[in-house]
Amino acid sequence: MKKICCLLLLFPAIIFAQEKESEKKRESGRYDNNRFSQMYDIMATPNMFRTASGAPGSAYYQQQADYKIDIELDDKNTKIFGKETITYHNNAPEGLEYLWIQLDQNQNARSSKSPLVENQRMDQALTPSGFAKKYNEEDFDGGFNIEYVRDASGKPMRYVINETMMRIDLPKPLKPKEKISFSIKWWYNINNYRVYGGRSGYEHFDSDGNNIYVIAQFYPRMAVYNDVEGWQNMQFWGSGEFALPFGNFDVNITVPADHVLEATGELLNRDEVFTKEQLKRYKLAENTFDKPIEIVTQAEAEAASKGFSNKKKTWKFSAKNVRDFGISSSRKFIYDAMAVQLSSRKTMAISLYPPEANPLWGELSTKTVAHTLKCYSARTFDYPYPKAISISAEDQGMEYPMICWNYGRPDDKGFVSDRIRYGMQSVIIHEVGHNFFPMIVNSDERQWSWMDEGLNTFLQYLAEKDLDPNYPSQRGPAKNIVPYMKGAQNFLEPIMSNSETIHQFGANAYAKPATGLNILRETIMGHELFDFAFKTYANRWKFKHPTPEDFFRTMEDASAVDLDWFWRGWFYSTNYVDLGIKDVKQYRVTDKKPEDLEKVSIRRGRFNQEAGPFVYFVEDKNNLASADVTLLQDFINQKYSLEERAKIRQPKYFYEVTFEKPGDMLMPILVQLTYDDGTSEDFNFPVQIWRKGNDVVGRVFATEKKVTKIQLDPKEQTADIDVSNNTWPKEQLKSKFD
C-alpha cells in the first residue's frame, strides 16, 4: 500500500510539471522545423501543365522551332558565314509580342561583359607569350555579326541585341497555334579554343598547319518559352549552359573538298561526299556489331593532311525532333563506325579522330560509344536517333544531339597512361550520355545544371561499373563526396542553386547530385524501386521540358517512398551527414530484482510492477553472458516443443546502443555487429527512426554471441563526414609514425 501511495503522490507533481512546460511552449510558440515535413513550402503548386504526380498535365505545351540553315566554313581565315530561316510555332495558350533569340557567340565579342564579372588577382609570373596575350595583344573578337533580320517577304524586322540575347519585335502578336517564319544572315570569327577558351572552335596543329573544327552555338538559336517562367532569356555568362526548344533541322554545310565531316542528323548525300570504297566500308559497318570498321583510313587521313584543296564540297543533313545542332570537320580525320543493336532498334556508333589520337581512339572510342548507348537505353529508353558520334578534340568535353567532343590522346611517344585511358572513356561515356539528359529529357541547363550534369554523372557511374566492376570512378560512390561535404560552409551552395552562383561547380552540379542518386538507389530505395521510378521519369519527360519538381514528384509517385526529407536536405541545403555511436550499455538477464528498479520503472514507465513475475535486465560492464534463468527456461520449455526450441533464438547478450546525429542531414542507420567468432551481421534502420526530430535514438540488440565491435556505415554508403564516432569500442586513430 505504501508503494501505491508514493506513486499517487508523485503523479500530481508530474502532471503539474507537464502543464507548466506546455504553458511555457504556448507562450514562446514553435515553427515546424521537422525535416520530414512535406515540401509544400518549397515546390511549385501543381497545375494543369504539370501534375502533382510529376507527369505532364492535360494542358502541357511546348514551342517548336524549325531551321533551314546554309553555312560555309572558311578554313583559311577561320570564319563561318551563315544564313538561316526559322519557322517558330506558338503552341502556348497566349499570344507573343516578341521573340527572344540566343546569340551565345557574343560571349566571345570584344564588347562582352563576361570577362568583367570575373574576379582577378595579380599574377606572380607569366611566360612571355602569356604576358603578350594578356597585356599586349588585342582581345579576340568572336561575336556574331548580324547582317540582317527579315520577315518571310524579305522586309527588315526590328531587333534589339542585349549581350547574348536578341529580341525580335513582331508587327502584331503571334497568336496561339500560329507560326511565323523569318531569316537571319550572320558571320563570325572562329576561336582557337586552346588559346581563347570556349565550348567549341578549332584546334590547330603546328606540325602540318591543319585544324580540327568542333562547331556549336554557331547559329542564332531560339530561346525557350514555357509555362514555368515565360521566356528563358537569362544571359549566357559561361557556366549555365543552354535551354532550347525542339524542332526539325535541314542544314547544308560547305567545307573544303578534302575535309571529312560529321554532324547532327542523317547525311542525305553520302554518295556525293564519300568515295565508292568508303561507301562500301560504311555499308559493311552498318551490319558489323562487334568491332568498328574504318570508313576513312589513317592512310587516307594522312594523305589528305598534306594538301589544302581550293575546291568545295557541301554536306547535307536532316535532323528531326532535336533541340540543337553540332558539326565537326577536318582533313585530318580518320572515321570509323559500327552498328549497335538496342532492344527495339538499331543505331550507329561513330568516331572521328586524327592520327595523333591512335592507337587509343581506334581501339576504344567507338566501342565506348556503343557501350554507353546500350547501358543508358536499358535504364531509360532506347536511344531514338540514327547515330552517336565521338570527336577527338583535345581539352574538350562537350555535347550536342548525336555528336560530342572528347579529350584524351597518347603522348608524343605513343604512351597512354591509365589516367588518360580511363579519363577518355569517362568523358566519352559522359558526353554521349548527355544525348539522354538533356538532349532528349530536355531540362533547363541555364537554370539547373544538376538536372543534366548530375543525372548524367549518375548514369555514367553505372555505365562505368557495367564496363568494369573495378573501374576507378571519380564520382558516384558516397565516400568520394565527403571532402566536399565537410568543406567550409561559405564555399558551399545547395544543389538547387543557379549555375552562375556556384563556387565548386564540379562537386555541386556533377558529383553531389550523382552521389545522392546513388545513395537513394543503394541505401534508401533499393534497385527495383529506384530503377522503375527513374525510368518512369525518363519516359514521361523524353522530348519535353521537365523541372526539378517534376523529377522529385515522379520519383516518389512511382515508388511509394516518401523522399521529401531527402530532397529538402540533400538538394535544398548544405546539410551534411554525421551519425555516431554515443553510448553502448551491456546487459544480462537475471531473476534477481535490481535494487533501483522502482526509480527506473517510475521514470521510464516500463511496466506494472504488480503484474510479475519478471526476468530482469541488469547492466553488466563486464559483458558477461546471461546464465540460465529458471523462470525463463520453464516458460520456454512449456511454450515451445523440442523441435521449436531448436529453432528459436535464445540470446545471452543484450546491448542498448544510443545513436546520435551531430550532422543535420537525415540518413538511415546502417549498423554492423561483429561477434567474437569473427562473423558479422548487418542491420538497416530506415531514416524514419529520426521522424520525431530526435537528436538521439536507441536500439536494443539481443545476440546469441558476444559482440566485439559495433560499426556504423561499414561500407561507407551514407557520405558520413566524420567516422571517428562510428565504432564501439572507440578505435584509436593510429599515428602516421606507428
| pLDDT digits 0-9 by tens, 344-369 | 999 999 999 999 999 999 999 999 99
CA dist 333 and 329 (Å) reads 8
CA dist 726 and 738 (Å) reads 22
**Region of poorest pLDDT, from 392-406, 529-543, 584-598, 703-717:** 584-598
Q: What are the residues facing 101 on neighbouring strands?
A: 166, 222
What is the percentage of the chain residues whose pLDDT exceeds 70? 93
Antiparallel, parallel or unpaired: β 403-406 and 397-400: antiparallel
The pair phi, psi for residue 487, each rounded to 5°, is -75, 175
- According to the model, what pLDDT value does residue 3 have? 42
C-alpha cell of residue 243: 535551354
How many Cα atoms are found within 13 Å in the side-chain-facing hemisphere of 153? 2
Q: Does position 25 have pLDDT exceeding 70, yes or no?
A: no
pLDDT band at 5 (very low <50, low <70, confident <90, very high): very low
pLDDT band at 28 (very low <50, low <70, confident <90, very high): low
Q: What is the DSSP string of 44-81?
A: PPP-SSB-TTSSB-TT----EEEEEEEEEEETTTTEEE
Instruction: List pLDDT tens digits, range 219-263.
Output: 999 999 999 999 999 998 888 899 999 999 999 999 999 999 999
Count of other CB atoms within 10 angstroms of residue 723? 18
- According to the model, what pLDDT value does residue 117 have? 77
The pair phi, psi for residue 571, each rounded to 5°, is -105, -30
CA dist 429 and 389 (Å) reads 11
- According to the model, what pLDDT value does residue 609 have? 57
What is the percentage of the chain residues whose pLDDT exceeds 90? 76
Q: What's the whole-number mean pLDDT along residues 197-211?
A: 95
Instruction: List pLDDT tens digits, range 134-176.
Output: 777 778 889 999 999 999 999 999 999 999 999 999 999 999 9
Q: What are the residues facing 707 on neighbouring strands?
A: 675
pLDDT band at 622 (very low <50, low <70, confident <90, very high): confident
**Region of poorest pLDDT, from 141-150, 612-621, 665-674:** 612-621
Listed in order, strand segments (DSSP E) in 238-308 are 247-256, 260-263, 266-267, 293-296
Q: Distances in Å between the alpha carbon of 431 and those of 113, 214, 289, 403, 539?
A: 29, 14, 22, 9, 20
C-alpha cell of residue 84: 538561316
CA dist 334 and 262 (Å) reads 11
Residue ranges in 520-596 assigned as alpha helix (H): 527-541, 548-557, 564-566
Instruction: List pLDDT tens digits, range 103-134.
Output: 999 988 788 777 777 788 888 898 888 887 77
- Collapsing DSSP to helix, strand or coil, 14 comes out as helix
- According to the model, what pLDDT value does residue 500 have? 87
- According to the model, what pLDDT value does residue 408 have? 96
Count of other CB atoms within 10 angstroms of residue 9? 9
Q: Rounded to a whole number, what is the distance in angstroms from the first to the last CA of the chain?
A: 64
Nearest to 718 by CA among 540, 482, 554: 482
Mean pLDDT, all residues of the chain: 91
Q: Report yes or no on whether pTM surpasses 0.85.
A: yes
The pair phi, psi for residue 446, each rounded to 5°, is -60, -30
